Structure 1
Amino acid sequence: MRRHVFISGKVQGVYFRVYTRDEAARLGLTGWVRNRRDGRVEAVFEGEESAVEEILAWCRKGPPASRVDKVEVVEEPYTGEYKDFTIAPTV
Protein backbone atom coordinates (compact mmCIF):
# COMPACT_ATOMS: atom_id res chain seq x y z
CA MET A 1 0.00 0.00 0.00
CA ARG A 2 1.13 3.58 -0.63
CA ARG A 3 -0.09 6.81 0.92
CA HIS A 4 1.05 10.38 0.20
CA VAL A 5 0.37 12.70 3.14
CA PHE A 6 0.48 16.40 3.90
CA ILE A 7 0.57 17.34 7.59
CA SER A 8 -0.36 20.83 8.81
CA GLY A 9 0.07 22.51 12.19
CA LYS A 10 3.13 23.11 14.33
CA VAL A 11 5.11 20.47 12.46
CA GLN A 12 8.39 22.19 11.59
CA GLY A 13 11.16 22.90 14.09
CA VAL A 14 9.93 20.08 16.36
CA TYR A 15 11.91 17.15 14.85
CA PHE A 16 8.79 15.87 13.08
CA ARG A 17 10.85 14.50 10.18
CA VAL A 18 13.30 12.66 12.44
CA TYR A 19 10.53 11.11 14.53
CA THR A 20 8.65 10.16 11.36
CA ARG A 21 11.74 8.53 9.84
CA ASP A 22 12.39 6.55 13.02
CA GLU A 23 8.76 5.43 13.35
CA ALA A 24 8.53 4.46 9.67
CA ALA A 25 11.76 2.45 9.93
CA ARG A 26 10.47 0.71 13.08
CA LEU A 27 7.35 -0.29 11.12
CA GLY A 28 9.37 -1.52 8.12
CA LEU A 29 8.05 1.16 5.78
CA THR A 30 9.85 2.74 2.85
CA GLY A 31 9.48 6.21 1.36
CA TRP A 32 10.45 9.70 2.48
CA VAL A 33 9.48 12.72 4.58
CA ARG A 34 10.31 16.39 4.00
CA ASN A 35 9.48 19.93 5.05
CA ARG A 36 7.65 22.17 2.62
CA ARG A 37 8.23 25.88 2.37
CA ASP A 38 4.49 26.42 3.03
CA GLY A 39 4.99 25.13 6.60
CA ARG A 40 3.60 21.63 6.08
CA VAL A 41 5.38 18.30 6.28
CA GLU A 42 4.95 15.95 3.31
CA ALA A 43 5.60 12.21 3.28
CA VAL A 44 5.17 9.10 1.15
CA PHE A 45 4.76 5.77 2.95
CA GLU A 46 4.92 2.35 1.28
CA GLY A 47 4.53 -1.02 2.96
CA GLU A 48 2.10 -3.45 4.51
CA GLU A 49 -1.40 -2.05 5.01
CA SER A 50 -1.34 -2.45 8.80
CA ALA A 51 2.00 -0.62 9.07
CA VAL A 52 0.84 2.22 6.80
CA GLU A 53 -2.35 2.59 8.85
CA GLU A 54 -0.26 2.70 12.03
CA ILE A 55 2.04 5.44 10.71
CA LEU A 56 -1.00 7.46 9.56
CA ALA A 57 -2.44 7.24 13.08
CA TRP A 58 0.94 8.33 14.45
CA CYS A 59 1.03 11.30 12.02
CA ARG A 60 -2.30 12.51 13.39
CA LYS A 61 -0.63 12.86 16.82
CA GLY A 62 2.99 13.64 15.92
CA PRO A 63 5.98 13.92 18.23
CA PRO A 64 5.72 15.50 21.70
CA ALA A 65 6.50 19.15 20.77
CA SER A 66 4.25 19.19 17.69
CA ARG A 67 0.61 20.15 17.15
CA VAL A 68 -1.10 18.44 14.24
CA ASP A 69 -4.09 20.36 12.88
CA LYS A 70 -4.76 18.43 9.68
CA VAL A 71 -3.53 15.34 7.83
CA GLU A 72 -4.43 15.07 4.15
CA VAL A 73 -4.06 11.51 2.84
CA VAL A 74 -3.87 10.71 -0.88
CA GLU A 75 -4.14 7.08 -2.00
CA GLU A 76 -1.59 6.20 -4.66
CA PRO A 77 -0.64 2.94 -6.36
CA TYR A 78 2.18 1.01 -4.70
CA THR A 79 5.40 1.27 -6.72
CA GLY A 80 8.08 -0.42 -4.60
CA GLU A 81 10.56 2.22 -5.78
CA TYR A 82 12.13 2.90 -2.36
CA LYS A 83 14.71 0.79 -0.54
CA ASP A 84 14.36 2.48 2.86
CA PHE A 85 12.81 5.52 4.54
CA THR A 86 14.68 8.82 4.22
CA ILE A 87 14.47 12.50 5.02
CA ALA A 88 14.29 14.34 1.70
CA PRO A 89 15.31 17.95 0.96
CA THR A 90 12.81 20.77 1.60
CA VAL A 91 10.68 21.86 -1.36
Structure 2
Amino acid sequence: MKKLRKHLIFHGNVQGVGFRYRSYYLASSLGLTGWVKNQYDGTVEMEVQGDPAAIDDLILRLQQQPFLWIDQIEAKELPVISEHSFSIL
Protein backbone atom coordinates (compact mmCIF):
# COMPACT_ATOMS: atom_id res chain seq x y z
CA MET A 1 0.00 0.00 0.00
CA LYS A 2 1.27 3.43 -0.93
CA LYS A 3 1.50 5.84 2.00
CA LEU A 4 1.27 9.60 1.91
CA ARG A 5 1.99 12.21 4.60
CA LYS A 6 0.32 15.63 4.58
CA HIS A 7 0.76 18.77 6.64
CA LEU A 8 -2.60 20.53 6.97
CA ILE A 9 -3.65 23.83 8.48
CA PHE A 10 -7.38 24.30 9.03
CA HIS A 11 -8.83 27.83 9.15
CA GLY A 12 -12.31 28.75 10.35
CA ASN A 13 -14.31 27.91 13.47
CA VAL A 14 -12.02 25.03 14.41
CA GLN A 15 -11.03 25.69 18.04
CA GLY A 16 -13.24 25.08 21.05
CA VAL A 17 -15.60 22.86 19.04
CA GLY A 18 -14.05 19.38 19.51
CA PHE A 19 -12.06 19.47 16.28
CA ARG A 20 -8.95 17.79 17.69
CA TYR A 21 -10.94 15.00 19.37
CA ARG A 22 -13.00 14.33 16.25
CA SER A 23 -9.77 14.29 14.23
CA TYR A 24 -8.25 11.78 16.63
CA TYR A 25 -11.29 9.50 16.52
CA LEU A 26 -11.72 9.67 12.74
CA ALA A 27 -8.00 9.29 11.93
CA SER A 28 -7.65 6.33 14.28
CA SER A 29 -10.75 4.63 12.85
CA LEU A 30 -9.35 5.09 9.32
CA GLY A 31 -5.97 3.59 10.25
CA LEU A 32 -4.11 6.88 9.89
CA THR A 33 -1.19 8.12 11.98
CA GLY A 34 0.05 11.60 12.84
CA TRP A 35 -0.92 14.39 15.20
CA VAL A 36 -3.18 17.41 15.61
CA LYS A 37 -2.78 20.58 17.68
CA ASN A 38 -4.24 24.04 18.18
CA GLN A 39 -2.23 27.08 17.14
CA TYR A 40 -2.20 30.49 18.83
CA ASP A 41 -3.64 32.17 15.72
CA GLY A 42 -6.91 30.18 15.96
CA THR A 43 -6.04 27.57 13.36
CA VAL A 44 -5.57 23.85 13.86
CA GLU A 45 -2.43 22.18 12.51
CA MET A 46 -2.28 18.51 11.57
CA GLU A 47 0.15 16.04 10.09
CA VAL A 48 -1.54 12.89 8.89
CA GLN A 49 -0.10 9.80 7.24
CA GLY A 50 -1.51 6.70 5.58
CA ASP A 51 -3.48 5.61 2.57
CA PRO A 52 -4.20 8.63 0.32
CA ALA A 53 -7.90 7.70 -0.01
CA ALA A 54 -8.21 7.47 3.80
CA ILE A 55 -6.63 10.94 4.18
CA ASP A 56 -9.15 12.34 1.67
CA ASP A 57 -11.94 10.61 3.59
CA LEU A 58 -10.72 12.13 6.88
CA ILE A 59 -10.77 15.64 5.41
CA LEU A 60 -14.24 15.11 3.91
CA ARG A 61 -15.63 13.79 7.20
CA LEU A 62 -14.17 16.71 9.13
CA GLN A 63 -15.81 19.13 6.69
CA GLN A 64 -19.17 17.44 7.37
CA GLN A 65 -18.99 17.60 11.18
CA PRO A 66 -21.60 19.67 13.00
CA PHE A 67 -20.38 22.71 14.97
CA LEU A 68 -17.23 23.02 12.82
CA TRP A 69 -16.79 25.53 10.05
CA ILE A 70 -13.70 25.05 7.89
CA ASP A 71 -13.11 28.11 5.69
CA GLN A 72 -9.79 27.05 4.20
CA ILE A 73 -7.33 24.15 4.31
CA GLU A 74 -3.66 24.68 3.53
CA ALA A 75 -2.02 21.41 2.50
CA LYS A 76 1.40 20.21 1.48
CA GLU A 77 2.97 16.79 1.12
CA LEU A 78 5.77 15.68 3.41
CA PRO A 79 8.11 12.69 3.43
CA VAL A 80 6.62 9.57 5.04
CA ILE A 81 8.06 8.77 8.48
CA SER A 82 7.95 5.78 10.82
CA GLU A 83 4.90 6.32 13.00
CA HIS A 84 2.37 4.01 14.68
CA SER A 85 -0.47 6.13 16.09
CA PHE A 86 -2.39 9.39 15.91
CA SER A 87 -2.15 11.80 18.84
CA ILE A 88 -3.46 15.11 20.13
CA LEU A 89 -0.62 17.48 21.01
Q: TM-score if structure 2 supplies the norm length?
A: 0.90
The CA distance in 2 between the partners of 1:69 and 1:37, in whole Å, is 17
* Match in the other structure for 1:85: 86
Give the alignment partner of residue 64 of structure 1, picking from 66, 84, 87.
66
> CA-atom RMSD, angstroms?
1.1
1:47 aligns with 2:66: no
* Match in the other structure for 1:25: 28
Q: Deviations over 1:32-63 (max 9, x none)?
A: 0000000000000011121112112234x153
Identity %, equivalent residues: 36
The CA distance in 2 between the partners of 1:5 and 1:84, in whole Å, is 17
The CA distance in 1 between the partners of 2:73 and 2:64, in whole Å, is 11
> For this pair of structures, how many residues does the alignment match?
86
Could you tell me which runs of 5 or more consecutive residues in structure 1 were left unpaired when the two chains were aligned.
Answer: none
